[in-house]
Chain A
Amino acid sequence: QSALTQPASVSGSPGQSITISCTGTSSDVGSYNLVSWYLQHPGKAPKLIISEGTQRPSGFSHRFSGSKSGNTASLTISGLQAEDEADYYCCSYTSSDTWVFGGGTKLTVL
């Protein structure tokens, strides 16, 4: 159960778009449309922002979108805002009937 691979940090200026990658294997990301993404502000609980690879929770900002290609899932945030600064985690179901998270990516809004 190795953690999914995410970049440790990404940054962007307000209004720009950024993409965070999440690379797994054919036993997790590559086999299921069950990748979810979470954001976590310091000292707060994680919050779901994308489920099943591409689905946004009801009422959530359209600035957040998800995609997948092969063993890599991606989260794109467009029109960056200061409040988007947070840690972002991907999560995938695995062929072992377990779940695995990515190591997390710290987003800095310059």
Chain B
Amino acid sequence: EVQLVESGGGLVQPGRSLRLSCAASGFTFDDYAMHWVRQAPGKGLEWVSVISWNSGSIGYADSVKGRFTISRDNAKNSLYLQMKSLRPEDMALYYCAKSFCGSASCFPDYWGQGTLVTVSS
């Protein structure tokens, strides 16, 4: 069974940094691309970033480009999202999602339960 467990969320002041993690199990992690998707309170889903199986292809939404960095450690079955210069509009539940295949052009198929990031002074 695919399991994705996000962690690292919390309360952070505007302008500060935070690193999210996603622990994966139940599938061969290094065969699949991975996504981050966020959802602000009461709002819809917003795609954030994707990384291919070997980190060779990475994409970001314009809203986070230059501030967020996605990475993965296949030896640890883990996905990360380093977030810098956080803004109030970055406040959201951040989901880690497994991709259907190894390419960054594959859609998310399984999702974790999310970790909440609150940006406030």
1/0 contact trace for A32-67 toward B, CB 8 Å? 001010101000011110011000010000000000
1/0 contact trace for B40-70 toward A, CB 8 Å? 0000111100100000010111110000000
> A51 touching B100 by the CB < 8 A rule?
yes
Contacts of A12 in B (CB 8 A): none
Cβ of A83 within 8 Å of any chain B Cβ, yes or no, is: no
Interface size on B, residues (CB 8 A): 25
- CA distance in complex: A34, B100 (Å): 11
A92, chain B: closest CB distance, angstroms: 9
**Across the two chains, which residue of chain A brings its CB closest to B112?**
A45
Contacts of A46 in B (CB 8 A): 37, 45, 95, 111
> B105 touching A57 by the CB < 8 A rule?
no
A20, chain B: closest CB distance, angstroms: 13
Cβ of B104 within 8 Å of any chain A Cβ, yes or no, is: yes
> A101 touching B46 by the CB < 8 A rule?
yes
**Across the two chains, which residue of chain B brings its CB closest to A98?**
B59
- Contact residues of B between 78 and 121, Cβ < 8 Å to A: 95, 100, 104-105, 107-114
* Given A45-B113, A98-B60, A98-B61, A34 contacting B107 (CB threshold 8 A): yes
Query: When the two chains form the complex, which single residue of B35, B59, B95, B104 contacts A45, counting CB atoms closer than 8 Å?
Result: B95
B19, chain A: closest CB distance, angstroms: 21
- CA distance in complex: A1, B61 (Å): 7
